Amino acid sequence: MIPYSSFTFFGILFVLLIPAVILGFLGRRSNIYTTFLSFVFLLLVFSSSKIQTFYLVAYIIWVVILIKGYSVYRKNANHSTVYYLSVFLSILPLIIVKVSPIFESTTLVGFLGISYLTFKATQVIIEIRDHSIKEISIVDFLKFLLFFPTISSGPIDRFRRFQQDYQKKLTASEYQEYFQIGVHKIFIGFLYKYIIGYLINVHILETQLVVGHTFVSNLTYMYAYSLYLFFDFAGYSAFAIGVSYLVGIKTPENFNMPFISRNIKDFWNRWHMSLSFWFRDYVYMRMVFLLTKKKVIKNRRNISYISYTTLFLLMGAWHGIQLNYLLYGVYQAILMCSFDWFEQFNKKKKIWKNNKLTHVLAVIITFHFICFGFLIFSGHLVN
C-alpha cells in the first residue's frame, strides 16, 4: 500500500489517528502511540511485498550498525578516512538501487522510501562528525528514521529539530492550533493532488502524449507537466506535513510558491526545500569548505561553480541515471552558474535595475527557464 495513494489508506489513517487527536486535545500527546503508528504503517505499506520488507529490515540493521559504530568511534578518535567511509557506506544501498537497472531489467534491491531514509541516515553521520549531535540512542534514531508520515517521499527533516518536537510537551490549546494547521494541510493536499493535479494529468498531459511531437504540443506539455509536478508533489507533501501536525510534529515545509521565483537561486529556496537545503548544507557548503581549505583552487567563484555543478549532477543522478535526469542536472548547474556570474557582473555594470517592471519580467523569465527544465526532467524530449 503506497502512502496517500488511495482512499483505503486515508480511511485506515484517519481511524488510527483518532486516539492521537483525542490525547492531543486533552493535553496528553503520546510519543508511545506515535511510535506505534509508525510500526503499524510500516506493516501496512510493506505487508504486500516480502522482498521489500526484507530489504527494509536489512537496511535498518545496516544503518543502525553504521550510526552506532561511528558514534562510538567518534568519541575516541577523529580520522577523516573513517568518516568518509561511513558516509559512503550509508549511501551505498541507494547507489546500488540507482545503478542496478544498468545491469538488470529491474532494480536488484530497494524499497519504498530508501532515498529519504538515506538522506536522514547520512545527515546523522555528518552531524555526529560535526559534534552537532553529541549523543544519539538507537531508539531515538529509529523514531526519526521511520517516522511514518514522511517515510516514503519526505519532506526531509533534521534529527535535532525532530527530536525537540518529539520531546516537547504540548498543552491542549497548543495542540488545537496544530490540529487546525494539520487539517488545513490535508485539505490542501486533496485539492492539489486529487483535483487540480488529476485534472491536469487526465485532460492535458494524456491528450498531448497522443498528439505527438509538435512545437505547440511540446509547449503545452511543458506548461502542463510543470504545473502537474508541482500540484502532485506539493499535494503529497501537504498530506505528510498535515498528518505530522496531527501527531504533534512540525515537519518542515517543502514548497513556498516556487513559480513566483525571481531567479533560479530563489527557485531552489522555494522548490522541494527540504531536499534543496539538504544538498546545500551537506554537499555544496562542504565542497566549498573542502576546496577552500585544501587550496585546490584559489578562485572563489570557480570553487562555487564546481560545487554547484557537483550538487546538481548528484541531484539529477539521485532521481535516476536515465539520460533525462542527468541532463536535468546539467541544465540546472548551467542555470545556477550563469545566474551567479550575471549577478556578480550586474553589481558592477548595473544593467538590470530593480523595480516593479523588472521584478515581473524576472518572474516570467525564471518561470519559463524552470518549465523548460521540467520538460527535460519529464523525459518527453529524450525518451
* 37-62 tens-digit pLDDT: 999 999 988 887 888 889 999 999 99
Separation in Å, CA 364 to CA 30, 339, 357, 369 = 47, 15, 11, 9
Go through the chain and tell me how many residues it has.
383
pLDDT at 103: 63
- Catalytic positions are 319
Q: Which amino acid is at 157?
A: D
Structural domain boundaries, residue 132: 30-167
Cα dihedral value 330, 332, 333, 338, nearest 10:
120
Is residue 114 situated within a structural domain?
Answer: yes
Is residue 7 situated within a structural domain?
Answer: no
Q: Which amino acid is at 159?
A: F
pLDDT at 210: 65
Residues 328, 307: one domain?
Answer: yes
Residues 34, 163: one domain?
Answer: yes
pLDDT at 152: 86
Are 326 and 379 spatial neighbours (Cβ–Cβ below 8 Å)?
no
The answer, yes or no, to whether residue 106 has pLDDT greater than 60, is no
Element counts in the chain: helices (H) and strands (E): 17, 0
pLDDT at 77: 77
Residues 208, 303: one domain?
Answer: no
Residues 121, 84: one domain?
Answer: yes
pTM over 0.95: no
Residues 70, 54: one domain?
Answer: yes
Task: Name, of 50-59, 146-155, 174-183, the range with top average pLDDT.
Answer: 174-183
pLDDT at 321: 87
* 310-358 tens-digit pLDDT: 999 999 999 988 999 999 999 999 999 999 999 999 988 888 888 999 9
The answer, yes or no, to whether residue 290 has pLDDT greater than 80, is yes
Residues 150, 205: one domain?
Answer: no
pLDDT at 111: 84
Instruction: Give the angle subtended at the CA of 236 by the CAs of 235 and 239, to the nearest 5°.
Output: 90
pLDDT at 242: 97
Residues 324, 266: one domain?
Answer: yes
| Across 101-110, 170-179, 249-258, least confident range | 101-110
Question: Residue 199's pLDDT band (boundaries 50, 70, 90)?
Answer: very high
The answer, yes or no, to whether residue 209 has pLDDT greater than 80, is no
Last residue of a domain, one of 133, 167, 201: 167
Counted domains in the chain: 3
Residues 160, 47: one domain?
Answer: yes
Is residue 46 situated within a structural domain?
Answer: yes
Instruction: Give the angle subtended at the CA of 331 by the CAs of 327 and 332, to the nearest 5°.
Output: 120
Are 189 and 236 spatial neighbours (Cβ–Cβ below 8 Å)?
yes
Rounded to whole angstroms, how far apart are CA atoms 363 and 264?
10
Residues 181, 149: one domain?
Answer: no
Residues 356, 336: one domain?
Answer: yes
Across all residues in the chain, what is the average pLDDT?
Answer: 92
The answer, yes or no, to whether residue 102 has pLDDT greater than 80, is no
Residues 50, 130: one domain?
Answer: yes
Residues 315, 270: one domain?
Answer: yes
